[in-house]
Structure 1
């Protein structure tokens, strides 16, 4: 199998002192799994690596198991290849170049989600905030940022993410991961 570049997106680590995963330890863990070129971005669980085996699902399962063994707690992990990350960036339905990065977020899902999952969300009630679905992602435009977003709060409710892993990144991180995986 050819060597491919991936990003691992860990959900819910290093937030409020819970589920602490130092990035140096995460890099060592991924290297210990036989991955090359391991680099991390920020402290929020973003790692880039190369692998010559597996696919997104098996690599994510391998990382989840290794994290649970090493740190003693479960962490949801999504792994996405460089082509997918670029496609997500390029398919953004909002004018990313005209917006501040804090206004645009992407939620990555572990499986496809259809619009029927979101029919209970009264989108006009949240304007000017908006969301759009893509390929295993949800794009969120929140003019005042995610921390103040009422729509973001609504979209993160467990009923809407039931049965899938969902993890959100701001636009800076989305674009940085594309750069890191295509570097």
Structure 2
């Protein structure tokens, strides 16, 4: 039995694409997943599964959400080992920063530096980013909502063909804790 986190992109924002967490938990239990728990209202659920891999579990949940709620939601599924490795590999001094200053964008597949070559990092200082394993770390000292660098990641040349979803550092740490073996 493996413990995973499902990261749903763009739900419960601005009153649209509402996915109540209680309904999501029930839906996931109906798919045969165990120990289903959610975190916040912004699209994180932790569960156990004894079948499938990250991609097939994400596809299964995406299809179930479409059928149940009537709209499509991009989903990324990652296991505890991956989530812990991402937290451990953070290139920024996470312990010294507020959770709103540090973010991780999880990608559906590996990305290389070429996708980001057109971004002049020096032009956005003190904001910075670094690439990780299917992830991007963003230091935004004034928060994500005010980040000019974060706006660059939404451009088609950067995210074409990818599912990408961002979580603040507090959520990154919480998901590692929630997916740890009990």
Check whether TM > 0.5. yes
User: Which residue pairs with 1:117 in the alignment?
Assistant: 115
Hey, what does 1:66 align to over in structure 2? 64
Q: What is the TM-score of this pair, normalised by structure 2?
A: 0.98
CA–CA distance in structure 2, aligned partners of residues 42 and 122 of structure 1:
34
Q: Tell me the equivalent position of 2:42.
A: 44
Cα deviation, residue 100, structure 1: 0.6
2:5 aligned partner = 7
Q: Which residue of 2 aligns with 1:168?
A: 166
Unaligned segments of structure 2, at least 5 residues: none
Alpha-carbon separation, structure 2, partners of 1:105 and 1:22: 24
Q: Which runs of 5+ in 1 are unaligned?
A: none
Tell me the number of residue pairs that the alignment of Structure 1 and Structure 2 aligns: 181
Cα distance in structure 2, aligned partners of 1:11 and 1:168: 8
Q: 4+ residue stretches of structure 1 with deviation over 3 A?
A: none
Provide the rounded CA distance (Å) in 2 between the counterparts of 1:85 and 1:18: 28
Structure 1 residue 94: deviation in Å? Answer: 0.2
- Residues 5-36 of structure 1: per-residue CA shift (max 9 Å, x gap): 00000000001111100000000000000000
Q: Which residue of 1 aligns with 2:98?
A: 100
Give how far 1:120 is off.
Answer: 0.4
Distance 1:144 1:78 in 2: 27
Give the one of 12, 27, 30 matched to 1:29: 27
Structure 2 residue aligned with 1:136, among 134, 137, 142? 134
Give me the TM-score of the superposition, normalised by structure 1: 0.98
Give distance in 2, aligned partners of 1:15 and 1:158. Answer: 22
CA distance in 2, matches of 1:110, 1:155: 14
